[in-house]
Chain A
Amino acid sequence: MKTGRWLGAMLLLLGMGLGVIHLRTEQSRCAARILSSETERLRLRSELWAYQTGVARLRSPGAVRDRLARLEAQSRSGAGVEGSDASPGMTLTSR
């Protein structure tokens, strides 16, 4: 009976210990996930900023004019007009 009680107490302590360890592990895992989400958010923000400045470059009046001049020159020469860098792969045909 005495041994059984000791064993029960030991098992209870062991269970509690394992529970604490499990909770701690989960907490660390969540923290790691939060951190990696933060890192990913940072990366996406950086990427977004790069796209925004890239689009701004394409929208600048000088760049628009250059593309227009290129398109006009190509359409005047009668050849198929390659799409601008804003729409890669698109081909316009001059009329």
Chain B
Amino acid sequence: MTQGTSRFAAVRRRTGVWVLTGLMALLLSTAGRLAYVLKTDGERLAGLAERQQFKRIVLPARRGSIFDDRGRMLAGTRRVPDAFVDARLLFNLIESEHPDEGAREAAFRDWCDQVAVRLNLPGAKVAELIRQHSASSYVVLKRELDESEAAAILNLDDAFSRAVGVTPASARVYPLGSSMAHVVGFVGREGRGLEGIERRFDEMLRGTDGERRTTCTVSRGSLDLRLDGARDPADGRHVVLTTDAEIQRIVEEQLASAVEKFSAESAVGVVMDPRTGDVLALACVPTYDPNEPAGSPTAARRNRAITDPIEPGSCFKPFVGALALQEGFVSSRESINCHHGQHFFGARRVRDTHPQGYLDLKGIIVHSSNIGIGTIATRMPKEAMERFVRSFGFGAPTGIELPGESGGIVKPSSMWSGYSTVSHSFGQELAVTPLQLVTALCAMVNGGELPAPRIVRGVLNADGSVVEWSEGMNVVRRVLREDVASLFGEEILPAVVEDVQEGNLKSQKYTSLGKTGTAQVPYPNRPGYEPGAYVGSFLGAGPVGDARLAVIVMVRKPNPSKGYYGRTVAGPAVKAILEQSLEYLGVPPDRESKVGVRLTDLGG
């Protein structure tokens, strides 16, 4: 009995040892395998598990808006549904439903037609899209669905409806349409700014999407919210511009009318506040709709006011005249021989459109005498002329907050010919942008200080708190003495508007000043000028004595048979822009008040 018991105990002990050894071996091999898998493939498998067990919910951030100076929204964001199809799932479903090849094709076509009708698209287009991306599980069929289209897709109920869906996506909206398109720019499909302010301030405007994680069921339904890794969306910042949508509308209307009336190729207009350097309007015609940028040619999307330098022509004379006066190369009362409209500077013959005899500085500017301003220029060393030109900011970008700005073309005086000083004096052999010209005019009408043009007033956080804000003038440098600036701003340039014979450029309400310019268009790829191709410009400001607005309008390649002089093609537009904009800004008419005083005097 005792022997039997001890044998049984021994067997039990041996069995226990074997079982324990087996278990240990199993445990060790499992641990070993685990360590091996973790080392060799751990990251991938952890990712797989993560994707299987958790669902990521994206909380979209809103791209910041762009506003004008009066708080009108120029660019905003909204969520609109896109229709998509899971092409891989669709083909799998069709295959399992229809083993026969021919039936499969027919079923696919029928289904595409059904979806196409709901999306107001041609059936063939839908079929082609899906075929092109047959391996993809996310093929966008149509973006920015309206409510009825989205409902029609959601109500689709057939064997393959699981493969189609509607998902909300952010869409950039430009409520003003084509107005201010060259300033605001636009964003691409991926939400990146591609032009204008959208591009320059892309980083600030873009927000960061938020995220939530949930554990999920086999059918991807949310089970439980996970707090680890949760992140709130951070909306993008807003950008406030200095522009005013109403003044912009006035400018665009006038440019379009000038282009149509003179069958011109294009026109550019810029309005600035000379007291601050704020750009109030910047327009180019032809323009484009940033809501549909792909539908317009690339040329229409170019912001010509800052990217295309052109020869300024006679618009340049006041700047040379003012600096020559300031530096003592001419006095305001000196009479200069204008040789009755024709004169040789060395071997080069220069002509005037309106032949004159002797003229003083005012007469030279008013009659736009090339010979007169050229004669003054011959007294200047070429280094001085280059210094003058550059002091007004020509030849360097103004630094405006827009992408792609050109600095214009001002060659170093070491490269000039003997005739260059003369040709620079009437705006040839150099190229400037419309923005540079109007900025230089600001210095002439604000007492002599060159402002840094500004188009961004400030940046706001998503909650409206201020990040950056700028008002007042950023002075680049003083370019003119006050007495010289006031002579040009209050006497010489106003006389141009008063004396212009052809076309009435005098406003009935406001006093104004200005300078006309007509330049030939050079060939793009070779020296010389295109025959019959001109740029007619008018540079103006008003009211005289306390200029609130400085304006430039340039009309490129008008039909010469309809007119091409600056005073004809651009002058009336500047007059209308000044009159309407000053009225809109609530500036009291100064011409009417002068008439009023006179009537009172008569009455007295």
Number of A-B contacts (CB under 8 A): 71
Residue from A27, A46, A65 within 8 A of B78 (CB atoms): A46
B 242-253 to A, binary, CB cutoff 8 A, 1 in contact else 0 = 000110110000
Inter-subunit contact A52/B249 (CB<8 Å): no
B 50-94 to A, binary, CB cutoff 8 A, 1 in contact else 0 = 000000010110100100000011001111000000000000000
Contacting residues, chain A, for B60 (C-beta < 8 A)? 42
Inter-subunit contact A32/B176 (CB<8 Å): no
Inter-subunit contact A60/B175 (CB<8 Å): yes
Inter-subunit contact A60/B179 (CB<8 Å): yes
Inter-subunit contact B212/A38 (CB<8 Å): yes
A65 to B584, CA, bound (A): 13
A76 within 8 A of B: no
Inter-subunit contact A49/B245 (CB<8 Å): no
Residue from B78, B214, B223, B249 within 8 A of A49 (CB atoms): B78
A56 within 8 A of B: yes
Inter-subunit contact A57/B175 (CB<8 Å): yes
A4 within 8 A of B: no
Known A-B contacts A45-B62, A46-B78, A49-B62; A56 and B212 likewise in contact (beta carbons under 8 Å): no
Most buried by B among A45, A46, A50, A61: A61
Count B-side interface residues using an 8 Å CB cutoff. 27
Contacting residues, chain A, for B79 (C-beta < 8 A)? 45-46, 49-50
A11 within 8 A of B: no
B225 within 8 A of A: yes
Inter-subunit contact B76/A56 (CB<8 Å): yes
B 182-219 to A, binary, CB cutoff 8 A, 1 in contact else 0 = 00000000000000000000000000000010100000
Contacting residues, chain B, for A46 (C-beta < 8 A)? 78-79, 168
Known A-B contacts A57-B175, A60-B245; A35 and B73 likewise in contact (beta carbons under 8 Å): no
Contacting residues, chain A, for B177 (C-beta < 8 A)? 60, 62
A 28-53 to B, binary, CB cutoff 8 A, 1 in contact else 0 = 10011011001000100110011011
- Nearest chain B CB to A27 CB, angstrom units: 7
Known A-B contacts A46-B168, A53-B78; A35 and B72 likewise in contact (beta carbons under 8 Å): no
B307 within 8 A of A: no
B105 within 8 A of A: no
A59 within 8 A of B: yes
A52 to B173, CA, bound (A): 10
Contacting residues, chain A, for B76 (C-beta < 8 A)? 49, 52-53, 56
Inter-subunit contact B78/A60 (CB<8 Å): no
Inter-subunit contact A61/B173 (CB<8 Å): no
Inter-subunit contact A42/B176 (CB<8 Å): no
Most buried by B among A32, A35, A56, A59: A56
- Nearest chain B CB to A47 CB, angstrom units: 9
A62 to B179, CA, bound (A): 9
B222 within 8 A of A: yes
Residue from A31, A42, A50 within 8 A of B214 (CB atoms): A31
- Nearest chain B CB to A33 CB, angstrom units: 9
Q: Secondary structure of the A side of the interface?
A: helix
Most buried by A among B77, B177, B223, B225: B225
B224 within 8 A of A: yes
A57 to B225, CA, bound (A): 39
Which A residue's beta carbon lies closest to that of B76? A53
Inter-subunit contact B78/A59 (CB<8 Å): no
A31 to B248, CA, bound (A): 51
B 114-154 to A, binary, CB cutoff 8 A, 1 in contact else 0 = 00000000000000000000000000000000000000000
Contacting residues, chain A, for B214 (C-beta < 8 A)? 31, 35
Inter-subunit contact B59/A56 (CB<8 Å): no
Inter-subunit contact A35/B225 (CB<8 Å): yes
Contacting residues, chain A, for B65 (C-beta < 8 A)? 52
- Nearest chain B CB to A85 CB, angstrom units: 14
A10 to B438, CA, bound (A): 91
Inter-subunit contact B62/A35 (CB<8 Å): no
A61 to B247, CA, bound (A): 9
- Nearest chain B CB to A69 CB, angstrom units: 13
Inter-subunit contact B212/A35 (CB<8 Å): yes
Contacting residues, chain B, for A49 (C-beta < 8 A)? 62, 76-79
Which A residue's beta carbon lies closest to that of B175? A56
A57 to B224, CA, bound (A): 42
Contacting residues, chain B, for A61 (C-beta < 8 A)? 72, 176, 179, 245-246, 248-249
A50 to B249, CA, bound (A): 24
Known A-B contacts A49-B76, A60-B72, A61-B246; A28 and B224 likewise in contact (beta carbons under 8 Å): yes
Which B residue's beta carbon lies closest to that of A65? B249
Known A-B contacts A28-B223, A31-B225; A60 and B168 likewise in contact (beta carbons under 8 Å): no
Inter-subunit contact A32/B222 (CB<8 Å): yes
Chain A residues numbered 62-95 whose CB sits less than 8 Å from any CB in chain B: 62, 65
Chain B residues numbered 238-270 whose CB sits less than 8 Å from any CB in chain A: 245-246, 248-249
A22 to B79, CA, bound (A): 39
B 423-452 to A, binary, CB cutoff 8 A, 1 in contact else 0 = 000000000000000000000000000000
A56 to B77, CA, bound (A): 11
Most buried by A among B60, B168, B173, B214: B173
- Nearest chain A CB to B251 CB, angstrom units: 11
A57 to B245, CA, bound (A): 12
Which A residue's beta carbon lies closest to that of B62? A49
Known A-B contacts A52-B73, A52-B76; A62 and B224 likewise in contact (beta carbons under 8 Å): no
Inter-subunit contact A27/B224 (CB<8 Å): yes
Q: Which residues of A contact B (CB under 8 A)?
A: 27-28, 31-32, 34-35, 38, 42, 45-46, 49-50, 52-53, 55-57, 59-62, 65
25 residue pairs of the A-B complex, CB under 8 angstroms, read A31-B225, A32-B222, A34-B225, A35-B212, A35-B225, A45-B62, A46-B78, A46-B168, A49-B78, A49-B79, A50-B79, A52-B73, A53-B77, A53-B175, A56-B72, A57-B175, A59-B73, A59-B175, A60-B175, A60-B177, A61-B176, A61-B245, A61-B246, A62-B176, A62-B249
Q: Which residues of B contact A (CB under 8 A)?
A: 57, 59-60, 62, 65, 72-73, 76-79, 168, 173, 175-177, 179, 212, 214, 222-225, 245-246, 248-249
Closest 6 CB pairs of A and B: A56-B73, A46-B79, A31-B225, A56-B175, A57-B175, A61-B249
Given contacts A28-B224, A59-B72, 14 further A-B contacts (CB under 8 A): A31-B223, A35-B214, A35-B225, A38-B57, A46-B78, A49-B79, A50-B79, A52-B78, A53-B173, A53-B175, A60-B177, A61-B176, A61-B246, A65-B249
